[in-house]
Structure 1
Amino acid sequence: MQGSFKQVCKSFLVGKKTKLFLPIAILLGIFQLSQAQTIETLKRIENDSVYIDFINPYLAPIEIKLSSLDSTKTFIKGNSYGVLKHMDTLKNALILPVNRVKDTSKINLKRFIQFKANFGDPNSKIDRTYEYSLPFPRGKRYKIIQSFGGNFSHNKPHSKYAIDIGTQIGDTITAIRPGTVFFVKEDSTEHCRTPKCVDKGNKVLILHDDGSIANYVHLDFDGALVAVGDRVEDSEPIAISGMTGFTTIPHLHLVIHQSRGISIPFKFKGQNTKKLKKGRFYKRKH
């Protein structure tokens, strides 16, 4: 039931060199960063101005958009947009007059800007013809409990083309396509029936070679079988299914995003219809 990762900065502080926490808007599976994996910042003071750079430590590209507040638009400057690959820097992302900052050693950026960021490069050429493997071992058979456009939670841009597969706690989840693991969350034991638990879902995110991103969600506590930086192959075991986050029953939530957290339709090998049908069982043969 979880999906995309449109990001909105709630609060963050910048010191001389520090890590910038980017909490994400919570809305039916919108992705939330952990404190262990954050965008970094660099700060310097020159000619009565504070210059702040953003650095992307992730193995996936990030598109960043900054906008000034109504109260700061008359004096705020900077490079307000960038698509950053791994370890790229958005130089002079924010330029503040020193006299507008009470304490330059610890700057609360939410007082000056709105911050939005999404994983993915909008210039990527997504392969819409690619046929994926089902996300479980060959010979296994599972029921689809929600498909594309499901009324319960697959009705927003970030989740429209998601599927929920009725796995049980402890089942093995496999990669649907080769790619690079760039985010892992496996520290949660919580779930509930309301969106307040949406950030509690354990997950693995994998970047494919064409720039698309696979999200495997509701995994078990300590259930990742891969680590950030791993290159995984098609059908390789990557996680253990669980029941974490915003969910009413154990299942795997699978969705593929292009940039800006937009879900895209996808097809599995051997699948004749445009989408898997709710209530139907599917056995992996390929």
Structure 2
Amino acid sequence: MKHFLITILLLITFQIGYGQTLESQKRFENDSVYIDFINPFYAPIEMKLSALDSTKAYIRVRQNAILNYQDTLHGAFVVPKSMVKDTSNINSSHYINFKGNFGDPKSIADTEYRYTLPYPKNKRYKIIQSFGGKFSHNKPHSKYAIDFGTKVGDTITASRDGIVFFVKEDSDEHCRTRKCIDKGNKVYILHKDGTMAHYVHLKLNGALVEVGDKVDVGEPIAISGMTGFTTIPHLHLVVYKANGISIPFYFKGQKSKKLKQGKYYTRRK
């Protein structure tokens, strides 16, 4: 079967990770073209599909689905051959609306888990923005993010065990506005309770892990940089549940749950 990537549509709808694509394949049965979606990521994807107003009279759509790694949504949508100008090149955005987020909404976050500070033992860094920070931590996807004042070239370590499901390290750009938000290099890690940690603003070619790697807490995973939407070098760490919603997370060995802006924290263990 011929495979192709649905790129333009997913760049728009995968709000939690820029530049990510979903695999698909097409099949011909009787007088129809069947489009199947395949999840190539190690994290589950929740999908919501609907026909466009211009196509809902003649296509069939599987409206909701959750795909785990390498799962296939058979017949995500079905189009009569007579309604396709060129069956060798089918652009899904001409037929359906697609909304997708990483994570399984049925998973339950372990709120008792205590994370490890994301840098080597005995290192200390200043918190330059914490939960609810006014500069950029004021949206549902970023409310519970933490910015550590790392320098370019510093080592970043995993705050929790998990599996790497996305890596971007091809950017050397940054700016002071959100137009650079998709320029940030990053590593995404899926945890066993279904939550996902994003380590962002990494150095060009600064990933020390690859997609599919299983990482242990405290293991070096990246080199800090200054890429994306930022005014100074730092590490942006945020933990998500499904639907791209950031959630509070806390660190072991700290007297107060919330790390305070302007204060330095040393990793002891």
TM-score using structure 1 length: 0.90
Match of 2:11 in 1: 23
Q: 1:5-154 residue pairs with structure 2 within 5 A?
A: 16-21=2-7, 22-24=10-12, 30-34=16-20, 38-154=21-137
8 Å contact kept, 2:50–2:61: no
Alpha-carbon distance in 2 for matches of 1:185, 1:176: 19
How big is the alpha-carbon RMSD for the aligned residues of Structure 1 and Structure 2? 1.4
1:166 alignment partner, one of 141, 149, 158: 149
**In 2, Cα distance between equivalents of 1:43 and 1:25:** 21
**How many residues are matched?**
267
Partners of 1:199 and 1:276 lie apart in 2 by 26
Segments of 4+ moved more than 3 angstroms:
24-27
Query: Which amino acid in the other structure matches residue 71 of structure 2?
Result: D
CA deviation vs aligned residue, 1:246-275 (integer Å, no higher than 9, x gap): 100000000000111110100000122231
Q: State the shift of 1:20 in Å.
A: 2.3
Identity, % of aligned positions: 64
1:251 aligns with 2:234: yes
Q: 1:282 and 1:55 mapped to 2: Cα distance?
A: 42
Q: Say yes or no: does 1:194 pair with 2:180.
A: no
Inter-partner Cα distance in structure 1 for 2:236 and 2:193: 21
Displacement of 1:26: 8.8
* Structure 1 counterpart of 2:255: 272
Name the SS for the 2:138 alignment partner.
Answer: coil
1:40-75 CA distance string (max 9 Å, x none): 111112222111000011111111111111222222
Aligned partners of 1:115 and 1:189: how far apart in 2? 30
Aligned to 1:210: 193
Encode CA deviations 1:13-44: one digit per residue, 9 max, x unaligned: xx9421222213597xx42135xxx3111111
> Where in structure 1 are there 5+ consecutive unaligned residues?
1-14
Give the aligned partner of residue 221 of structure 2.
238
Equivalent of 1:261, from 244, 250, 254? 244
Q: Distance in 1 between matches of 2:13 and 2:59?
A: 24
When the two structures are superposed, what TM-score results if normalisation uses the length of structure 2?
0.96
Tell me if the contact between 1:26 and 1:199 (Cα under 8 Å) persists in the aligned partners: no
1:191–1:243: 8 Å Cα contact kept in structure 2? Answer: yes
Distance 1:83 1:191 in 2: 34
Q: Answer whether contact 2:164 2:189 (CA < 8 A) is retained.
A: yes
Secondary structure (helix, strand or coil) at the match of 2:159 reads: coil
Counterpart amino acid of residue 20 in structure 1: I
> Can you list the C-alpha shifts for 1:144-193, whole angstroms capped at 9, x where unaligned?
11110111111111111001110000000000011011111111001011
The CA distance in 1 between the partners of 2:91 and 2:207, in whole Å, is 34
Distance 2:236 2:245 in 1: 15
AA at the equivalent of 2:3: K
1:221 aligns to what SS in structure 2?
strand
